[in-house]
Amino acid sequence: MKTLLLWRSFLKNNFIPVMIAIALLTVASYLIVGFYGRYKFQSYARDTVAAGFDPNGVYFAPEAEKFKYFTEDAAYKPILSHKACASIFGNAESHYAVVDGAEVHVYRTGRELLRSFTPVIAEGRWLSPSAESTEAVVSGINCKPGERITLSPGEEATVVGVIDPEKLIVPRFNSYGGKTDCSYLFSPASGAVAFVTSKEQPDLQFSNYYVVFDKNAGEEDIAALEEFLSENGSFTRYAELIENSNENVRDWLSRALPLPLFLTAVATLTVICISIVVIKRGMNEYSKYYIIGCTRAKAVSISAAPLVLLSVIPLVFNLVCVLAAPTIYYTAGKATAIIGVNCVVPVAIYTVFVASILFITPFAFYAKSSPLEIYRRNL
Amino acid sequence: MKTLYLIFAGVKAFVTRSVFLFAVICVGIITDSLMFTYMYGLIRQTNDSEQGFFGTDAALALTMLLIYLLCVLAFLYLMVSVYSEIAHELNVYAILGASKRRIVAVVGGMMFVILAVLSAVAQVIHALLYAPLFSKLNVDEGFSYGFGDYFAIFLITLFSMYCFVFAFVYIKTSDTSLANYRNTSK
C-alpha cells in the first residue's frame, strides 16, 4: 500500500512528462504495427503467387470498352477459345451470409482459382477441386473441420479446413498499374470469411484474369493469344509479377521503411530522455528514503516501476486496436496490411527494450554509491 | 557585462554540475530539433505537389503531425528541466539583492544560449548526415536543404521555442525572491 501511494505521488508530480512519454510510445507502436502489417501483406501475396500460380501464365486486365461486343460476364470466353489458353480464373463470386449469427463474407471459388490460390491452412485441408459435395474453408468463425455450416436457407457446407487468420488474404483481381506486382491480385481480409466450392461451378465474374497457357501450345499459338490480350487490355507475365514484387518489397524496405524508423527513433530517444530527466529530478527525494534505511531496490522501484508499468499501455492499446479495429492501420482507407495479433510482437519487443532502459537507468544512477554520496550528489 | 558573465558562468556550471543530465537533455533537444527540420522539409516538399501534406497518406501525415506536436511538448519540458536545474542558484542571487530584471535576463540569457547552441548543433548534424540518412526520408527525390533552409529552421525553432521558455521563466520569477527561493529548493 505504501509503495502504491509512493507510485501515485511520483505520477502526480510528473504527470505531464509521463503523459508525453506514453503518447509518444503509443504513436511509435502504432507505426510499427502498421508497417509490419504492410510488409506481411506484400511478402505473403508474393509467396502465394510463387507457391500456387502456374508460372506459364499472365495476369490480364481487360479494357471494358474493348469487350463491349460481349456481355461483361462473358468477357473471358474469347480468351478461353484460343488454342494456347489452358485455363482462366478471376475473382471469386462473393456475398455475405449469416453463419451461427455472425456475418460471414462467402467466396464461391471456381476450380481453377482454388487450384492456384492455396492459403495457409491452420487446421484441416484446403478445398478439393474434385469435391462432390459443398465444402468450406473458414476463418474468423468458431468452427472445426468436419462441422457443417448453413450458408443460405437450404444450403449447407462441410467445413474441411480453417485458415490461419494471420495470413488471410482474398483474391481481388481488380487492380492493374504501371508496375503490377503480386499485391495487385489480393486484398487483406479481416473478420469472418468462408471459401466455398461445390459441384456446380460459379460463372467467372468480370474482373481481371489470370490466364494459364497450355504447356503443349506452340510458340505461334502463344504469340497469337498474347497479341489478342494486348489488343484488348494489358497483361503482366508471371515472372514479371514475381520480379516486380521482389523489387517492390526491396524498394519498400529502402524507401518506405526509413520514415517509420526515423519517427520511432525520435519518439524513443525523446521518451528515454524525458524519463531520465524525470527520474533524475525525483532522485533528491528518493535519496532521502535511501539514507533513512530504505533498500536500494525499493528506492529505485519508486521511480522505475511506475514508468515500466506505464510503458505497457501502448502495447495494450495496439493489441485492442488490432483485435477491435484493424482498419485504423490501413493506408488511406485501403486494405493494405494483414493486421493480426502477430503484428503486436515487434511492439512487445520494442516495449521490453524501452522498459529495460527505463528500469536500468535508476539503478545506474545509484550504482556503487553509498546512500550519503547519492544524497550529497542530489542536493 | 556582469549579466553576460553570469550567463556564461551559469551555463558552464550547469554543464559541469551534472554532465550526464546535460548530455541527456542535449540528446533530447537535438532529436526534437531534427524532427522540426524534417517537418519543415516535408511541408516544403508537399506544398509544391498537387496532393499537399495530407494527400498521399492522411493517416501517416496525421501520425507525423502528432509526433511533431509531442516533440514540441517534450522539447519544452526539457527546457523547463534546464530551468529547474539553474533557477535555485539564481534565486539565491535574488535573495542577496540582485534585481528581478537581472535574474530574468540571466535565466533568459542562459536558456537562449543553450537553445541556440543545441538548435545549431542539430542543423549541423542534419546537414552532415543528410546524404547517408535524411535524404532517404524525402518525398520528393530532387529536394535538398540549402543554407537558407537551415537558417530559417534555426530561427523558427529558436524564436518559437524561446517565446514559450521566456514566458515560463518570466511567470516563474514573478513571485517574491523568498518565494522563488523556496519554490526552487529541492
- Model confidence at B84: pLDDT above 60: yes
Instruction: Enumerate the residues of chain A whose CB falls inside 8 A of the CB of residue B133.
Output: 258
CB pairs under 8 A between A and B: 90
User: What are the DSSP calls for A198-252, one per residue?
Assistant: -SSPPPPPSS-EEEEEPTT--HHHHHHHHHHHHHHEEEEEHHHHHHHHHHHHHHI
Which of B31, B59, B66 is closest, CB to CB, to A270?
Answer: B31
d(CA B79, CA B25): 8
Residue pair A303/A286 in contact by the 8 Å Cβ criterion:
yes
**Residue A123 grid cell:** 487446421
Instruction: Enumerate the residues of chain A whose CB falls inside 8 A of the CB of residue B74.
Output: 17, 20, 24, 270, 273-274
- The pLDDT, as a whole number, for residue B124 is 94
d(CA A179, CA B92): 70
Residue pair B177/B87 in contact by the 8 Å Cβ criterion:
no
Q: Quick one: which of A186, A212, A38, A276 has its CA closest to B22?
A: A276
d(CA A302, CA A37): 37
User: What are the DSSP calls for A136-179, one per residue?
Assistant: EEEESS---TT-EEEEETTEEEEEEEEE-GGG-EEE-TT---TT
Which of B21, B74, B133 is closest, CB to CB, to A280?
Answer: B21
Least confident of A155-169, A342-356, B37-51, B107-121: B37-51
- What is the C-alpha end-to-end distance of chain A, expressed in Å? 28
- Model confidence at B121: pLDDT above 90: yes
Residue A197 backbone phi and psi in degrees, to 5: -135, 150
- Is B137 within 8 Å of A331 when comparing Cβ atoms? no
The tally of CA atoms less than 13 A away on the side-chain side of residue B72 is: 16
Span A94-137, pLDDT tens digits: 888 887 778 888 888 888 888 888 888 888 888 887 777 888 89
Which of B24, B35, B57 is closest, CB to CB, to A332?
Answer: B57
Residue pair B57/B42 in contact by the 8 Å Cβ criterion:
no
Interface of A with B (CB under 8 A): 16-17, 20, 23-24, 27-28, 30-31, 34, 254-255, 258-259, 262-263, 265-267, 269-270, 273-274, 276-277, 280-281, 284-285, 328, 330-332, 378-379
Interface of B with A (CB under 8 A): 18, 21, 24-25, 27-28, 31-32, 34-35, 38, 56-60, 63-64, 66-67, 70-71, 73-74, 77-78, 81, 84, 133, 136-137, 186
**How far is Cα of residue A314 from the mean position of the Cα atoms in its chain?**
18
- What is the C-alpha end-to-end distance of chain B, expressed in Å? 30
- The pLDDT, as a whole number, for residue A66 is 65
- Is B60 within 8 Å of A331 when comparing Cβ atoms? yes
Q: Where are the domains of chain A?
A: 2-44+255-377, 55-237
Instruction: For residue A364, give the chain B residue with the closest CA.
Output: B20
Q: Quick one: which of A82, A84, A64 has its CA closest to A207?
A: A64
**Residue A130 grid cell:** 474434385
Contacts by A144-150, CB closer than 8 A, 24 or more apart: A149/A99, A149/A100, A149/A194, A150/A99
- Is B78 within 8 Å of A266 when comparing Cβ atoms? no
Instruction: Enumerate the residues of chain B whose CB falls inside 8 A of the CB of residue A29.
Output: none
Q: Quick one: which of A173, A41, A72, A34 has its CA closest to A113?
A: A173
- Mutate one of A263, A271, A285 to test the B interface: name it (highest B CB count within 10 A): A263
**How far is Cα of residue A254 from the mean position of the Cα atoms in its chain?**
19
Which residue ranges of chain A lie beneath pLDDT 70?
Answer: 64-75, 198-205, 331-335, 366-368, 377-379
Mean predicted confidence (pLDDT) in B88-102? 81
- Model confidence at B175: pLDDT above 80: no
ipTM of the complex: 0.84
- The pLDDT, as a whole number, for residue B107 is 84
d(CA B159, CA B112): 9
- The pLDDT, as a whole number, for residue A202 is 67
- The pLDDT, as a whole number, for residue A349 is 93
- The pLDDT, as a whole number, for residue A201 is 64
Residue pair A126/A137 in contact by the 8 Å Cβ criterion:
yes
Instruction: Enumerate the residues of chain B whose CB falls inside 8 A of the CB of residue A274.
Output: 28, 74, 77-78
Residue type, A148: R
Instruction: Enumerate the residues of chain A whose CB falls inside 8 A of the CB of residue B66.
Output: 23, 27
d(CA A136, CA B88): 74
Q: Quick one: which of B71, B49, B77, B14 has its CA closest to B141?
A: B49
**Residue B180 grid cell:** 522563488
- What three-state secondary structure class fits A332? coil
